[in-house]
Amino acid sequence: MTSYKDLGLVNSREMFAKAMKGGYAVPAYNFNNMEQLQAIIQACVATKSPVILQVSKGARDYANINLLRNMAKGASEYAKELGCEIPIVLHLDHGDSFETCKECIDNGFSSVMIDGSHFSYEENIALTKKVVEYAHKFDVTVEGELGVLAGIEDEVSAKHSTYTEPDEVIDFVKRTGVDSLAISIGTSHGANKFKPEQCQRNEEGILIPPPLRFDILEEIEKRLPNFPIVLHGSSSVPQEYVKTINEFGGKLVDSIGIPEEQLRRAAKSAVCKINIDSDGRLAMTAAIRKTMAEKPGEFDPRKYLGPAREALKKMYIHKNENVLGSANQA
């Protein structure tokens, strides 16, 4: 058994309480490798932002849980070395069973998500409650989910979305004891969040997707005052990355994300955690494709992963400062 407290990590309780009061959201960035982690830490130290390091099932399969846990420990030491002791959470993203959550808690994670949103309401409650009971013994915080997000990711998929039902949230939170709740109000996973035909074009010809359901969010806030809400599927899919990827041999079609203004508005509400993974993938891929195309003789991975890390860092700084509002809140 490894406690996150020995790894220099914190759980999300105080982080969310501060975010709620301060009207900002804590960034939850996924990582699978060293360059992504370095970029996240460098950006969050540079902007003095708290951060949630997210590990998905796909990340665990790819990188190994022992290695990831020790990378998080290293990240906390690295942040101090860079001169700023920012609060860092190590979070299991989309935990799919009690066993997975337990394994992560026993391996130094300070926060877990149990995603029971694909089960029936009562099954979701029973599973979430079981995880909460175990997690709270070790002061690990738990995120539950109500409502289903549409979209496709490697390990997370749903064909259709079901918005969160505001009438269910009080009962769910009370009966499970969760510390935060992921809701479905129109975001979705991946880089193809909307079909072009669902969008409208503005004067510059840019596709504007349908707005998030802020009415549902407000209803939830009314029923659960000051309770931390989480938004998954919150990549903006910046078109500059899509353009670069396609310019240098990629083939991304209909890549549309959540406009930044919508996320900025959400961050000012009870939304205390905003999940971003796909934008990191896009920034990295764009930089790697560009370097590979422009320097075909290069075969040292540091020569293309280095610029990718820089591109990622720049993007995370922008998000912390201009979208989530988490800069200077560490």
Given the complex with Zn ion, which of 45 and 149 has the nearer CB atom? 149
Given the complex with ligand 13P, which of 26 and 291 has the nearer CB atom? 26
Q: Is 277 in the site for ligand G3H (CB under 6 A)?
A: yes
Q: Which of residues 85-124 bind ligand 13P (CB under 6 A)?
A: 93-94
Residue 155 interacting entry, from ligand 13P, ligand G3H, Zn ion, none, C-beta within 5 to 8 Å by type: ligand G3H
Query: What is the 3-state secondary structure of the chain?
Result: CECHHHHCCCCCHHHHHHHHHHCCCEEEEECCCHHHHHHHHHHHHHCCCCEEEEECHHHHHHHCHHHHHHHHHHHHHHHHHCCCCCCEEEEEEEECCHHHHHHHHHECCCEEEECCCCCCHHHHHHHHHHHHHHHHHCCCEEEEEECECEEECCCCEECCCECCCHHHHHHHHHHHCCCEEEECCCCEECCECCCHHHCEECCCCCEECCCCCHHHHHHHHHHCCCCCEEECCCCCCCHHHHHHHHHCCCCCCCCECCCHHHHHHHHCCCEEEEEECHHHHHHHHHHHHHHHHHCCCCCCHHHHHHHHHHHHHHHHHHHHHHHHCCCCCC
Convert residues 213-232 into a mask of x (bound to ligand 13P by CB under 6 A) and - (unbound).
-------------------x
The catalytic residue among 61, 93, 115, 167 is 93
Given the complex with ligand G3H, which of 20 and 59 has the nearer CB atom? 59
State in angstroms the smallest separation of the CB of 305 from ligand 13P.
20
Q: Is 193 in the site for Zn ion (CB under 5 A)?
A: no
Q: Is 235 in the site for ligand 13P (CB under 6 A)?
A: yes
Q: Is 37 in the site for ligand G3H (CB under 6 A)?
A: no
Residue 58 interacting entry, from ligand 13P, Zn ion, ligand G3H, none, C-beta within 5 to 8 Å by type: ligand G3H
Which listed residue (90, 135, 156, 178) binds ligand G3H by CB under 6 A?
Answer: 156
Cβ partners under 8 Å of residue 201, min gap 6: 207, 208
State in angstroms the smallest separation of the CB of 95 from ligand G3H.
11
Q: Is 232 in the site for Zn ion (CB under 5 A)?
A: yes
Q: Is 56 in the site for ligand G3H (CB under 6 A)?
A: yes
| The pair of three-digit structure tokens given for residue 211, joined into one six-digit string | 């707005």
Q: Is 275 in the site for ligand 13P (CB under 6 A)?
A: yes
Question: Does 93 participate in catalysis according to the annotation?
Answer: yes
Contacting residues toward ligand 13P, per CB under 6 A: 30, 93-94, 153, 189-190, 232-235, 275-279
Active site residues: 93
Contacting residues toward ligand G3H, per CB under 6 A: 30, 56-59, 93-94, 153-156, 189, 277
